[in-house]
Amino acid sequence: MDGELDTLFNTMAKIIYEEEKYTSTGGGPSWPITPYRALNSIVGDFFLDLYNTFQALVDRNINDYTVAQAMRNPNRIADYNYFWAPVNRSSKLSYRQKYWLAKKFIRLISILRHGNPFCVNGANTCHKRSYIDEVIEKYPFTKLSPIDKDVISNFEFILTNFLECIYFAFPGFSRNYSGPYRVGNYVVVIKKFMDLRPVYMWFSRDLNFEEYTHIGIYRSDFVFSVNFVGKYTLGHLSFKDALIYSCIIIDGKVKSIDEIAEKYIPLLEHACEVGRNYISRLSIEEKVEKYVDILYYSRKPLTDLLSRSWKPSKQIYEKAIEGYYTTARLPPLSDLPMEKAISLLVRKMDFRRCKHGRG
C-alpha cells in the first residue's frame, strides 16, 4: 500500500466526519444548497477534466513547480479530495488515472507547503522561514489599539461572509492562513484572501481589489493550527485578543487602519449585501449552475497556462441539475461511532479498496 495515499484518505475521512458532526449540532454556516447534491453527478467529469488538463501541461513540458505556483493556494487543491467517493462511483476514470491524479494532488500541495502537505503538527508552511524574516524586515507594522483590532476583526468577518457569497461551501478556494511561525517571542500568521472578483459572480466587480493579505504578529501564547484543507482552530485566545502588530496589504500596497475603516469596510459591506440579495433570488437550478462555475473556475490557473477557457460545456450544467434532483440524501455520519464512520468513509474514498474504485 502507498503510505501517502493512506494518509490522504484517512485525513479526509476524519475531516469530513468532524465537519458533519459540527454541522449536525447546529454549528457552521448554512449554504444556499449542499455541495454534495449540487456536484455529485459531475465530479467524475471534473476529475477527468483535471486529469486531461494536467496531462496537457506535461505534454507542454510545464513542470509541477510552475503548475503549483500558478494554483498558489494549496487549500484549493486539497478541497478537491472531498470528492473521491462520488468520483469512484462515477466510473469516469480508470484506476491508473485515479492513482496518478491523487499523487499529483499531494505533489502540488507538498510544493506549496514546502514538504509538509498534510500540515503535520497543525502547521501550514506555505512560506519558508527566510520569507517570514524578509517580510517582517520589509513592511511597516502598526502597533494596534483596541479600536484598531476591532476594525481588522470587523473587516475580516465581512470578508469571510463575502467569500461565502462567491465560493459558497468552498471558501478555501480563496482563503489561505499560513503559519504559525515563531519569531522571537511572537507568533506570526499570514492571512491571504485571493481571487475576490471571480467573473461568474457579477456583483464581485463592485469590489476594487483582488487580494487581501494580513501579516499579523501575535502574543507568544497564541495557539493556532491548520488542517489539510486549510481550516483552522484556535486555543484560548482569539485572533483579535492575541494580535499585537499588523500589516495589511491590498493588491500589493500597504493600507492603513483608517483606510480599511473608511474606504474598504463600506465597499465590502455593499458588495456583500448585493451578493446576498442576488443569491437569495436564484432558483435551485441557477444555484446548481453557480456551484458548477465555482468548481470549474477553481482550476482556471491551469487552463490559463494552456490558453484555454475555464468554462465547462453546457452538458455539464444540465447533468448537474439533473443529478441534483436524483441524488439520494446520505444517512448522517454523526449517528455512527467515530471509528466506524471514518472506516466507512475511507472505504468509499480509497479507490484501492472500494468496489467501484478499480474501474
Q: What is the pLDDT of residues 2-14, one digit of tens each?
A: 899 999 999 999 9
> pLDDT tens digits for 186-225?
999 999 999 999 999 988 888 889 999 999 999 999 999 9
Domain for residue 358, yes or no? no
Domain for residue 180, yes or no? yes
Query: Does residue 257 share a domain with residue 175?
Result: yes
Query: Does residue 131 share a domain with residue 95?
Result: no
Residue 355 neighbours by CB under 8 Å, 6+ apart: none
Stretch 105-118: mean pLDDT: 97
Query: Does residue 271 share a domain with residue 187?
Result: yes
Residue keyed to cell 483582488: 210
Domain for residue 287, yes or no? no
pLDDT confidence of 326, banded at 50, 70, 90?
confident
Task: Look up the domain containing 336 and give its range.
Answer: 3-119+298-349
Domain for residue 359, yes or no? no
Give pTM, 2 decimals: 0.93
Number of domains comprising the chain: 2
Query: Does residue 341 share a domain with residue 241?
Result: no
Query: Does residue 267 share a domain with residue 130?
Result: yes
> Exposed, middle or buried by CB within 10 Å (0-12, 13-18, 19+), for 117?
buried
pLDDT of residue 26: 43
Domain for residue 354, yes or no? no
Stretch 337-349: mean pLDDT: 90
Query: Does residue 114 share a domain with residue 7?
Result: yes
Q: What percent of the chain lies above the pLDDT cut of 90?
A: 82
Among 45-59, 198-212, 225-239, 249-263, where is mean pLDDT lowest?
198-212
pLDDT of residue 55: 98
Domain for residue 209, yes or no? yes
Strands 186-193 and 232-234: unpaired
Are 151 and 142 within 8 A, CB to CB? no
Query: Does residue 219 share a domain with residue 126?
Result: yes
pLDDT of residue 43: 95
Query: Does residue 141 share a domain with residue 50?
Result: no
pLDDT confidence of 19, banded at 50, 70, 90?
confident
pLDDT confidence of 358, banded at 50, 70, 90?
low
- Residue 29: is its pLDDT beyond 70? no
d(CA 353, CA 349): 8
Domain for residue 291, yes or no? no
Query: Does residue 70 share a domain with residue 164?
Result: no
d(CA 209, CA 211): 6
Domain for residue 355, yes or no? no
Query: Does residue 51 share a domain with residue 91?
Result: yes
pLDDT of residue 336: 80
Stretch 10-33: mean pLDDT: 70
Are 239 and 132 within 8 A, CB to CB? no
Report the sign of the C-alpha dihedral through residues 53, 55, 57, 60, in that order: negative
Query: Does residue 205 share a domain with residue 155?
Result: yes
Stretch 94-121: mean pLDDT: 97
Mean pLDDT over the full length of the chain: 92
H/E run at residue 354 = none
